[in-house]
Amino acid sequence: MVSHDQGTNPGPMRRMLDAASGPLHPLARETLLAALDAGWADPSRLYAEGRAARSLLDRAREVIADGLGVRPGEVSLLPSGPAALSRAVDGVLHAARRRGGGTVASAVEHSTVLIEGRARASMSTVAKAPLVEVPVDSLGRVDLAAWGEAVARPGMVVAALQSANGEVGTRQPLAAARQLCAASGIPLVVDAMASLGRDDVPTDFDVLVGDGRSWGGPPLGVLVVREGVRWHWSGARADIEHGRHDVTPWVPLALAAAEAWQQTQAGRTNEAAAAHELVTRVRAAAALVPDTEVVGDAVDRLPHVVTFSSLYVDGEALVDAFDRAGFAVASGSACTSSTLEPSHVLAAMGVLTHGNVRLVLPLEAVRPARADDVAAFVEALAPTVRAVRSRAGVTGL
């Protein structure tokens, strides 16, 4: 039995506004349950059940590939988005190891890229595996001049850039960044874990990474390596996921991800417009709270993500207060919030790093009452911040 803290509200009025790893799309859930019977077998087996599972896995891959505008052979399915991102960078590095080992990344990249890059740079081969963290502006957008200088440095062999930041929503200039990479002969790894299914599919990439959770599917990493890109995983087995993983994907998860993709893409334009308007309402309400800063680009952004920061309080205290009021929200970096450490994204932007709250709106199909949830949050926002400040001894705001 699962117990709940007496101060939380686990009932039907619970309002989920942190959908970075939220519930499955209803039809994806149905598909997952059905696939437990239809696709349970190992697709590498030659008996009938294995062949049936292989056919289902191939179909799921075709659906995702078609939605991404790539070939099925370019798509591999891994256990999670972060795992796919790590493998994406590693494969380019390994393939180019004779030319160098340097990585270029924006300062707001996923912690998977930055932490692993720093670890490589700190080892004894530091001269061969440097990490250049390119600065961003106050909106979180990469400095293209600095990016161009970084990718042109000797020994740089891979560059990583998000399609859009999962914490503040700001989109990155992928086309310009990729042109600079191409001029230096460096593949561009694009992290689209926050945007796939919720924004236009990126086209300016050499290697692309996504996560099924962003479009209402289960945790499932998607790794796309365009044909012709020099990419090789050191532990490759040619018969598993095109040599990009050592474990065959679990077919029910792949089918659920493909179903969620089809459902989400069918109504994405209207969904994005509705989410954009709801986030605009949250941004406006937060901006009215004294000593509160709404971060990220107000226009050129993901439609479903917003972060604001309030002075005089901790983000954890705000998250707890909203939780007790029935709202599930988050704080800290989107990729490291469990550590309760200040956001490296906000720090790189030069904005307030404490007292931040992040909302990632669920799909309307996942949460039909989403608009009501946002309306209730907007009403509760200022009083909740004021109450937390009052408990901290800050009054008069």
CA dihedral 105, 111, 112, 113 (to 10 degrees): 10
Q: Which of 388, 337, 385, 379 is nearest to 358 (CA)?
A: 337
Task: Tell me what pLDDT residue 183 has.
Answer: 97
Task: Tell me what pLDDT residue 8 has.
Answer: 40
Q: What is the mean pLDDT of residues 84-89?
A: 97
- Residue 79 DSSP label: S
> Which residues have C-beta within 8 Å of that of residue 68, sequence separation ≥ 6?
75, 196, 201, 208, 210, 222, 224
Task: Tell me what pLDDT residue 396 has.
Answer: 66
> Which residues have C-beta within 8 Å of that of residue 104, sequence separation ≥ 6?
132, 134, 147, 150, 151, 153, 156, 158, 159, 160, 186
CA dihedral 194, 197, 201, 202 (to 10 degrees): 10
What is the per-residue pLDDT across 136-156, written as a single tens digit (0 to 9) for each?
999 999 999 999 999 999 999
Question: Is the pLDDT assigned to residue 197 strictly greater than 90?
Answer: yes
pLDDT band at 7 (very low <50, low <70, confident <90, very high): very low
> Which residues have C-beta within 8 Å of that of residue 337, sequence separation ≥ 6?
330, 331, 358
pLDDT band at 19 (very low <50, low <70, confident <90, very high): confident
pLDDT band at 127 (very low <50, low <70, confident <90, very high): low
Write out the H or E segment, with its range, that includes residue 340.
none
Task: Tell me what pLDDT residue 246 has.
Answer: 82
Question: Is the pLDDT assigned to residue 339 strictly greater than 80?
Answer: no
